[in-house]
Amino acid sequence: MAGLLEGKSALITGGGGGIGRATALAFAREGARVAVADAAQAAAQQTVALVNDAGGQAMSLSGDVTDPDAVQAMVKAVVAAYGRLDCAFNNAGIAGYQVDAGGKRTHEWPDASVDRMLAVNLKGVWLCMKHELVQMLAQAGGVIVNTGSIAGLIGLPTSSAYVAAKHGVLGFTKTAALEYAQDNIRVNAVCPGYIETKMTEDTMRRRGTELMQKVPFGRMGRPEEIAEMVLFLSCDRSSYISGACYNVDGGYMAI
Ligand code: NDP
């Protein structure tokens, strides 16, 4: 039986670990040729090695999503290698502690931390969408999935600019879905809850027990559980879905 993404080409940002890596593996399993991009190319190369070991096809790209030239080059490299860009997963992101804002309330966030958070988690998604959309318009179709978060739906104390950025990602997602609906381009978002990745290691060490009490499933999600939603939203099985934001959160948002 043909895979769900047989013959498709895909670009995944933040593919060097966590959710991006799991998605690269899921896409390749379903027949896609995958370009794995990450700020750290070595991490992207490790993902590519895992894809290849599993019998899939992938290439690695380096590129900071805050750098317009790098983002444009990333999209061009995918098209040069694979001929087109069918699926894009805009997933690269950082947490508050990575910009020196861990545990800080809104007024305590340093200016530079807010700037960097918005540059990576919000403008970085827009920059990727911009160049992906140009290519998808030229080839008359495509699918984009952005990584939102439950933090894109509610407030979370001490995550101020992260929450703002993720709300913004959902805004970009819904607006682009409307703007490109007549161009055969679908745009959706996945909103993960607490997922076992490098990003959450520190928080879980400090507050894991308390946080898990708020999750109806009583456990964290696995990156593979997000990847399956991204796969669904990227393949033809979701052909009538656009502008949607799907929670994959162990029931968190139902409370
Ligand atoms: P990871 O830290 O494992 O993955 C994030 C990846 O993005 C890393 O490989 C990181 O590279 C890369 N990255 C960071 N900054 C940039 C940049 N400027 N340009 C290109 N790549 C960059 O965490 P997750 O897999 O958990 O995160 C993936 C996405 O999921 C993020 O958008 C995050 O906000 C979101 N998310 C995660 C949740 C969770 O509980 N884990 C919950 C909800 C949403 P490097 O390692 O070099 O920094």
State the virtual CA torsion across 15, 16, 22, 27 in degrees, nearest 10. 40
What residue owns the CA closest to ligand 1's atom 10?
A: 14
Q: Cα(102) to centroid of ligand 1, in Å?
A: 16
Q: How confident is the model at residue 253 (pLDDT cuts 50, 70, 90)?
A: very high
What is the pLDDT of the chain when averaged over all its residues?
Answer: 98
Of the candidates 146, 33, 127, 43, the residue with the CA atom closest to the CA atom of residue 89 = 146
184-206 pLDDT, tens digit each: 999 999 999 999 999 999 999 99
The stretch 226-245 carries a mean pLDDT of 98
pLDDT higher than threshold 90 for residue 104: yes
Q: How confident is the model at residue 44 (pLDDT cuts 50, 70, 90)?
A: very high
User: Does residue 142's CB lie within 6 angstroms of at least one atom of ligand 1?
Assistant: no
Q: With contact defined as beta carbons under 8 Å apart, do 124 and 169 qualify? A: no
What are φ and ψ of residue 220, in 5° steps? -75, 160
The stretch 47-65 carries a mean pLDDT of 97
Pick the CATH number of 9-244 from 3.40.1160.10, 3.20.20.140, 3.40.50.720, 3.40.50.300: 3.40.50.720
3-22 pLDDT, tens digit each: 999 999 999 999 999 999 99
The confidence score (pLDDT) of residue 11 equals: 98
Choose one of 12, 13, 19 to mutate for the ligand 1 pocket test, by most ligand atoms within 8 angstroms of C-beta: 19
Ligand 1 atom closest to the Cα of residue 65 is 19
pLDDT higher than threshold 90 for residue 1: no
Q: With contact defined as beta carbons under 8 Å apart, do 133 and 185 qualify? A: yes
- The share of the chain scoring above pLDDT 70, in percent, equals 100
Q: Where are the domains of the chain?
A: 9-244
Burial of 13 (0-12, 13-18, 19+ CB in 10 A): buried
**Residue 64: both structure tokens together:** 């900071």
Q: Is 82 a catalytic residue?
A: no
Structure pTM?
0.98
Q: Cα(91) to centroid of ligand 1, in Å?
A: 7
Q: Concatenated DSSP letters for 84-132?
A: S--EEEE-----GGGGT-TT--GGGS-HHHHHHHHIIIIIHHHHHHHHH
Active-site residue, from 82, 97, 162, 246: 162
Ligand 1 atom closest to the Cα of residue 147 is 32
